[in-house]
Structure 1
Amino acid sequence: MGDGGRRRAVVGVSGSLGSLAALHRAVSEARRTGGELLAVLAWEPPGGEVAHGRSVFPSSAADMRRDAGERLLAALDTAFGEAGPGIPFQGLTVRGTAGRALVEAADRADDLLVIGAGSRGAMRALFPSVARYCVAHATCPVLAVPPSPLQDELVSMHRRISLRRSIDARELTDGRA
């Protein structure tokens, strides 16, 4: 086992649906192996490090770190409520890109790095894939949790609501209009 004596499930948490699915899977894996959970939220200044450095009124690092901690706690609360995950866990906020922060946090050979695989749509080409970075650079096993099939339906419903398009209630229950 690693330095702490327990196997760790290290999971990337952003608050997205995909990261919440990964969080639940990481808890299941940690519970199955008698391990512990390390939930990691990576953060960067708005616009990135370069833009932040050139900003006239940059936010303080302490404020951004506090906001990141609050987002991590909110994601854990969304996933598990007040009861928590039911296993030993730690939360960690890291200033930096998500892929690098996760690979550096999962630094033991017996860690399991759990990440949301993200969408596979056309927009993926415009944004770097955290999952790909982790698979290419991690020194431990990586488990990429695919998005829920319900996620696309939820996004579609949200889009229709925001555009004030009508929704047939039967679509919400059995998928038929």
Structure 2
Amino acid sequence: MDETASVHEIVVGVDGSAGARAALDWALREATLRECAVRMVTVSPVDEPLGLRDGAVGRPDVAGGEQDVRDRMAAEAADVAAVAGCDAVPVRTEVRYGEPSRELVDAAGPGGLLVVGSRGRGGLSGALLGSVSRQCAQHARGPVVVVRDDESAHGAVLWQGAASRVVVGVDGSAGSVLAVRFAAAEARLRGGELHVVHAWIDTLSGYGGLPWARPATTLREQADTTLRESLRAAWQDRSPAVRVRAQTIEGAEWDVLAEVAEAADLLVVGSRGRSSRSSTLLGSVSLRCLTFAPCPVAVVRPLRSEA
């Protein structure tokens, strides 16, 4: 099954921040590749009626306030689309009320693709990952892409062609198999390379056990086996229809993936790995990748029946 086939609309959260603008740019480019529409969603706190924004006085005109916001959203979409060359993408605007992450997750639904900036208007100065983006990655029922706008993140610069590269981390878990399928579909859209990486390590601050009890050669062989089995499970011996590079690399997962993702178009991870507790909504590896990766990061969550 093509993991992109079921997405007919990309939901992107916007709030007027630079991070949201970067997310909108990514969503429009992705929609061009998928030939689908974009729905821009902004969320207003229920205790801040739109008619009272920007110093307005008197009886709040909620309907007028909503229309003003939608007009500004449409103008921003037209501006970003013109720069990105995505003028043909259909764009809808929507205003919601409530808690931002909850409303965005609800807007995307179980099968939608949700795109958010790493930090919004309310983000702390110096914070690399805002609370809304983190909560969306934790609670979304479908894949979430978090796009950074700071100087250490190059954004998406290739998009289509042989030089494009999508990186995915695998660890043998069911979640990472789904991440491989999603990443393969993204690589096919771009006509680029799928770079599959399994990181392994002997000891990390003593947690790996006695190094002489498990020789490094055996651990390396186990890593190779995990990589092969992950690829086999992803495609069940069928062709992935994309150019694949597969590697096992010694090192901590988050460090390895962040380094390999340098100059990549997208890094894809599962929401939880083998070492995460079943009750954990977002594993430590995916959280660190969201925080420090130098490119947009997609978090792929298994369906409830597969979790």
Q: Deviations over 1:64-118 (max 9, x none)?
A: 112101110011011112234221011111112211111111111x421001112
**Aligned amino acid, residue 262 of structure 2:** D
What is the distance in 2 between the residues matched to 1:58 and 1:98?
A: 22
Please report the RMSD computed on the Cα atoms of aligned residues, expressed in angstroms.
2.8
What is the distance in 2 between the residues matched to 1:9 and 1:51?
A: 31
1:36 alignment partner in structure 2:
193
| TM-score in terms of structure 1 length | 0.72
2:249 alignment partner in structure 1:
94
**Aligned amino acid, residue 201 of structure 2:** E
Name the structure, 1 or 2, with higher relative contact order (CA <8 Å, separation 6+).
1
Within 5 A, what are the aligned runs for 1:131-142?
131-142=286-297
2:50 alignment partner in structure 1:
none
Counterpart contact for 1:76–1:84, Cα < 8 Å: no
1:14 alignment partner in structure 2:
171
What is the distance in 1 between the residues matched to 2:211 and 2:294?
A: 40
Secondary structure at 2:306's aligned position in 1?
helix
Does residue 107 (structure 1) correspond to residue 262 (structure 2)? The answer is yes
Does residue 68 (structure 1) correspond to residue 240 (structure 2)? The answer is no
**Aligned amino acid, residue 165 of structure 2:** R
Gap regions ≥5 residues in structure 2? 1-157
Q: Which has the larger radius of gyration?
A: 2
Question: Which has more helix, going by share of residues?
Answer: 1
1:50 alignment partner in structure 2:
206
* Structure 1 residues 70 and 56: CA distance shift in structure 2, 3 A: closer
Counterpart contact for 1:77–1:84, Cα < 8 Å: no
What is the distance in 1 between the residues matched to 2:176 and 2:189?
A: 20
Over the matched positions of the two proteins, sequence identity in percent amounts to 33
Gap regions ≥5 residues in structure 1? 153-177
1:149 alignment partner in structure 2:
304
**Aligned amino acid, residue 40 of structure 1:** V
**Aligned amino acid, residue 170 of structure 2:** V
2:270 alignment partner in structure 1:
116
Offset, 1:56 = 7.2
Counterpart contact for 2:272–2:283, Cα < 8 Å: no
Secondary structure at 1:41's aligned position in 2?
strand
What is the distance in 2 between the residues matched to 1:56 and 1:146?
A: 34
**Aligned amino acid, residue 111 of structure 1:** D
Secondary structure at 2:195's aligned position in 1?
strand
Counterpart contact for 1:18–1:148, Cα < 8 Å: no
Runs of 4 or more consecutive aligned structure 1 residues displaced over 3 Å after TM superposition? 119-123
Q: Across the two proteins, how many residue pairs are aligned to each other?
A: 147
| TM-score in terms of structure 2 length | 0.43
What is the distance in 2 between the residues matched to 1:145 and 1:51?
A: 27
Secondary structure at 1:59's aligned position in 2?
coil
